[in-house]
Structure 1
Amino acid sequence: MGARKHSAPRRGSLGYSPRKRAARLVPRVKTWPEVDLGKPVPLGFIGYKAGMTHVYIVDDRQGSPTFGQEIFVPATVVEVPPVHVIAVRGYAYDPNRGLYTAGEAWVNPPSELELWRKIPTLGEFKESKLKELEEKIEKLREIRVIVATQPKMVGGLSKKKPDLLEVKIGGTSDLKAIFEYATSKLGKTIPFNEVFSVGQLIDVIAVTRGKGFQGPVKRWGVKELPRWHKHRKGSRRTGARSHGRGTWWEIPAAGQTGFHRRTEYNKRVLAYGENGLEITPAGGFLHYGLVRAPYALIAGSLPGTPKRPIVMRYPVRPPTWYLKMGVKEPQIVYVSLQSKQGN
């Protein structure tokens, strides 16, 4: 017999450590890409996950083995009602402190938005704040807007409190044009199709489904010890290896599983529609219901449970085939509207 092997590939990825609970349900976008579109455009949007279905589309990726053929694609329906622009914020740069807020101006939101549920101490709009920000335009590095969702328009939600998201305005290097665009949208709404186009790739940031406190077998995927041996302290435990000052952090251990902030890269927008009922399956989506607001159909699965806020942005690392092909609207042959309730 040969010598017993004492090494094996590690289970789980240390790149996701520490696996702790997300700090907020609506994730903050940490990186914004540099996009050259020749005009100002918001680089992100926020919606709510409704559920999944499947479609058949004609594969239009050059070099794909199934190019020109009908392929099966699972897809996620995200309800994307227009968002309200409630503030403009300018950022300056300092080598010692990085980006810092140089000024901001808030608008009086409409009463039906009920923003007071989110920000009870919101003051009145002051034109002087906007002028001060315009005077600092030469010192600014970035201009962002703060948008608020309209949960009352979402069919699967029962809450009234809007969610807020800070979105960078990009698409051009002309900061004055960006400032004019941001101020022109202050107090107005921005629809999904003004930000993204059908056929383009996007990055999706969301909080995954929470699974609570779990052991190392479920949390890290380590191998369970054989049960036919004597395991007085359990077959699903991992040995705690110490270096004298505590346990190694690389050792798989029990802890929080799920409810982590995760980013899914390069998801393709397959379709967009104004009437959500045309994409709702018979009986509605499980744990969600009917889709009444505008919707976006995104290829693949997305993190989180139904009703979870979904943050979408322009891709930070698009693949080569996408850069060569560009934005091209896919040809959808069939969209499944069968009931997903199960038996």
Structure 2
Amino acid sequence: MGHRKKHAPKRGSLAFSPRKRAKSLVPTIKTWPRIASDRPVLLGFAGYKAGMTGLLYIENDEHSIHYRKEVYASATVVEIPDLFAVGLVGYHPSADGNSLVALRTALAKDLPDELNRRIINVSNAGAEKNLKMLEESLERLRAIRVLFATQPRLAGISKKTPDVFEVEVGGEVPVERRFEYAVSILGKKISITDVFQPGDVLDISAVTKGKGFQGPVKRWGIKILPRKSRKTKRKPGALGPWKPSATMYTIPSAGQMGFHRRTVYGVKVLDIKKPEQEAPVVSLHRYGVLKDTYVILKGSIPGPVKRLVRMRHTVRPPMRALDPPQIVYVQGGI
């Protein structure tokens, strides 16, 4: 840092303040993209992070210096069992028009038994009545979202309790067609191949690894003071001016590090596979055996293994679309 004059008191960004623990292990998606589709489509999906590996692929980007060459890249494996559509929610604009408010939730007639592990005494009584009321209020609705439950018992992890979340139905179609599509999949299982294909670009949301209570050096990347500093070296050089006589929130301080909700933009889907019966067993460190459909994503994503990962169509689409690259080799026989 001696080669530049600009001061750099810390390495963290105040845009992520306050750095506190996430409210839930199921990350909330606050923005849904607009998809240029002439039919209703689901805008997101979810799975469980299985681990990382490496692979060789043929670069198919003509603007890359590695065009038509073998390139090594790190990749993340996410196991994605089918999702079960347990209900749908209709949203209408609020009184001030700045947000969406849930009007009514209609559950499916047949609900999975494991759902009682997540929602105690869940009941679908009045499902047809709620569905009819939503249909009568379509002119008020702005968004239709499907309530999904995961099926972790089908994955390679020792978990039975499903995770429940909402996925919006998109497409450049009227709300009536989106509602009809949501009703058609109610009580059915949806596969990852019904939503995403190899070559798609996604945004990944998850809760990061928890680090606990950490000091300002590790949490903010501040400089360690010289050896003869008074009392301690792993502290900020100054806590601010005399006036105002209070420690400002911009001062790097100790506190919670990790276990934050984070989103990674522009993650490319390299391949979507399903374990073959005759093939050798595919196992990942600290995860287990891959039993169901899994997706290979380019690069890294937030969170430890076995954690829920939510994905959506990217809100920042690339300027030029590329076909999925040809994968030559994947480490671990995946």
Superposition TM-score, scaled by structure 2 size? 0.92
Considering only aligned residues, what root-mean-square deviation do their CA atoms show, in Å?
A: 2.0
Partner in structure 1 of residue 167 of structure 2: 167
What's the counterpart of residue 234 of structure 2?
A: 236
* Equivalent of residue 329 in structure 1, options 321, 324, 327: 324
Deviation for aligned residue 1:36: 1.2
AA paired with 1:172?
Answer: E
1:279–1:312: structure 2 CA closer, same or farther, 3 Å change rule? Answer: farther
Q: Is the 8 A contact 2:82 2:150 kept in 1?
A: yes
User: What is the identity, as a one-letter code, of the residue corresponding to 2:235?
Assistant: R
CA distance in 1, matches of 2:143, 2:124: 24
CA distance in 1, matches of 2:306, 2:280: 16
Q: In structure 2, what is the equivalent of residue 66 of structure 1?
A: 66
- SS of aligned partner of 2:210: coil
Runs of 4+ in structure 1 over 4 Å off = 276-281
Structure 1 residue 232: deviation in Å?
2.8
Cα 1:279–1:250 shift into 2, 3 Å: farther
Question: Which residues in structure 2 correspond to 1:144-155 (within 5 Å)?
Answer: 144-155=145-156
1:101 alignment partner, SS class: strand
SS in 2 for 1:81: coil
Q: 1:142 to 1:276 in 2, by over 3 A?
A: farther
**Aligned residue in 2 for 1:308:** 307
Query: 1:276–1:292: 8 Å Cα contact kept in structure 2?
Result: no
> What is the CA-CA distance between 1:93 and the residue it aligns to?
0.9
- Matching of residue 76 in structure 1 with residue 76 in structure 2: yes
CA contact (8 A) 1:46 1:165 kept: no
AA aligned to 1:107 is: A
Partner of 1:39: 39
* TM-aligned CA deviation for residue 175 of structure 1: 1.3
Aligned position for 1:133: 134
Cα distance in 1 for residues equivalent to 2:276 and 2:213: 37
Residue 274 of structure 1 deviates from its aligned partner by 2.1
User: Structure 2: 5+ residue runs without aligned partners?
Assistant: none
- Say if 1:148 and 1:181 are closer, same or farther in 2 by CA, change over 3 A: same
Identity across the alignment (%): 45
Distance 1:259 1:338 in 2: 31
1:190-201 alignment to 2 at 5 Å? 190-201=190-201
Give the Cα–Cα distance (whole angstroms) in 2 for the partners of residues 200 and 71 of structure 1: 19
Q: 1:91 to 1:279 in 2, by over 3 A?
A: farther
- Secondary structure of residue in 2 paired with 1:132: helix
Instruction: Tell me how far apart the structure 2 counterparts of residues 255 and 237 of structure 1 sit (CA, whole Å).
Output: 13
Counterpart residue number, 1:299? 298
> Which range moved further: 142-151 or 53-62?
53-62
- Contact 2:10–2:221 (8 Å) recurs in 1: no
Match of 1:219, SS state, is helix
Tell me by how many angstroms 1:27 deviates. 0.4
Structure 1: how far apart are the matches of 2:265 and 2:82? 23
Amino acid at match of 1:159: K
1:325 partner amino acid: A
One-letter identity of the residue aligned with 1:307: K
SS at match of 1:100: strand
* Distance in 1 between residues matched to 2:36 and 2:195, nearest whole Å: 14
Residue number in structure 1 paired with 2:214: 214
- 2:254 is aligned with 1:259: no
**Do the aligned partners of residues 200 and 338 (structure 1) sit closer, same or farther apart at CA in structure 2, a change above 3 Å counting?**
closer
* Alpha-carbon separation, structure 2, partners of 1:148 and 1:245: 51
Residue 244 of structure 1, CA deviation: 2.9
**Alpha carbons of 1:216 and 1:9: their partners in 2 closer, same or farther (altered >3 Å)?**
closer
Q: TM-score, length-normalised on structure 1?
A: 0.90
Contact 1:279 1:291 in 2 (8 A): no
269-278 vs 70-79, greater mean Cα deviation: 269-278
Residue 186 in structure 1 maps to residue 189 in structure 2:
no
SS of the aligned residue for 1:337 comes to helix
> What's the CA shift for 1:325?
2.5
State how far apart, in whole Å, the 2-side matches of 1:149 and 1:134 are. 26
What stretches of structure 1 of length at least 5 have no aligned partner? Answer: none
Partner deviation per Cα, 1:301-342 (whole Å, 9 max, x = no partner)? 11111001000001011232xxx225x222111111169xxx
Would the alpha carbon gap of residues 338 and 140 (structure 1) be closer, same or farther in structure 2, given more than 3 Å must change? closer
Q: Aligned partners of 1:174 and 1:87: how far apart in 2?
A: 20
Contact 1:36–1:171 (CA<8 Å) still a contact in 2? yes
Q: What does 1:19-58 align with in structure 2 at a 5 Å threshold? A: 19-58=19-58
